[in-house]
Homo-oligomer: A and B are copies of this chain.
């Protein structure tokens, strides 16, 4: 027994007057094939189990059988800090829901001490193996770790598209940022816009790459008039740059940026979308956080998480390799994409 007097099957066996093996057999359902236990004995054992509240030690279980019906959740960033809460919560919710449905428990792999800010999957005692498999969350993945994961045989599924490692595909469930972004660009084009600004990186995380890809693909020959690659900068600088570029519509990869720029614009008596249209590429924050209903698209976070959990189950139980799945993002009409301003039209 671990420090305290945790019950073991031996204890249950003694109390029920049977052997440890019998307890195990009773616990693991009716294997009609092997040693059959008559209902009377079975009931006697179960009574003791009920009275004592005994539960098999998951560690020992996994040790013996190799599986313990526990799914791990690894997050590169802490899962619950306020700043990230809005980001991770829907994923956790989706995972929790599906895990429950599938009869798995959830283990949050927090144990790994963060080295230099980022968490490591492979710490000296890789705790990953505590769970039968693992869902991995995070805006940006460590390529080296991903490489080791893909090379190994531990079942995992990433949430968010991931580039292949060499010729090896990474199992993931992602959101189709490219298509969703392209769709919003189409709508802007349809409203007559030709001067586009883009506020967000072209490179880096896959989600950044995809948004930019969708953006530039949909623009075709049109070149954006302005591009700010740094996000999270001061609102004034962003707004000035956008105005200076002559853009009539600004695409923000970060909703937070869109929020502050929109607020600043209004405070300067600029109308949105009268004088400037704003498009946010993916809704992160809750609608009520900002009074404005941005033109954007909804990232189906919960559904991504559910599908990822499902795929993980598949990998675990059938020892399959997993696939690559992109879910569509629903466009949101919003109030911030309008016709191009009159003075621009007059030109």
Q: From the candidates B55, B103, B125, name the one contacting A113 in the complex (CB within 8 A).
A: B103
- Find chain B residues with CB under 8 A from A97 CB: 78
B155 touches A58 (CB 8 A): no
How many copies of the polypeptide does the oligomer hold?
Answer: 2
Question: Complex formed: what's the CA distance from A120 to B176 in Å?
Answer: 38
Given known A-B contacts A3-B66, A3-B153, A105 and B89 have beta carbons under 8 A apart? no
A-B contact pairs, 11 of them (CB 8 A): A2-B129, A3-B319, A53-B129, A55-B125, A55-B127, A58-B130, A80-B89, A82-B89, A89-B89, A105-B107, A107-B107
Task: Given the known inter-chain contacts A82-B286, A107-B105, A107-B108, please indicate yes or no for A1 contacting B66, CB distance below 8 A.
Answer: yes
Knowing A78-B96, A82-B93, A92-B80, say if A67 contacts B107 (CB, 8 Å).
Answer: no
Q: Across the interface, do A110 and B114 meet the contact criterion of CB distance under 8 Å?
A: no
Interface of A is mostly: loop
Tell me whether A306 is interfacial, beta carbon within 8 Å: no
The interface size bin for chain A is 35 or more
A153 proximity list for chain B (CB < 8 A): 3-5
Pair B107/A111 contact, Cβ less than 8 Å: no
- A129→B6 contact, CB < 8 A: yes
Chain B: minimal CB distance from A193 (Å): 32
Residue from B5, B61, B125 within 8 A of A61 (CB atoms): B125
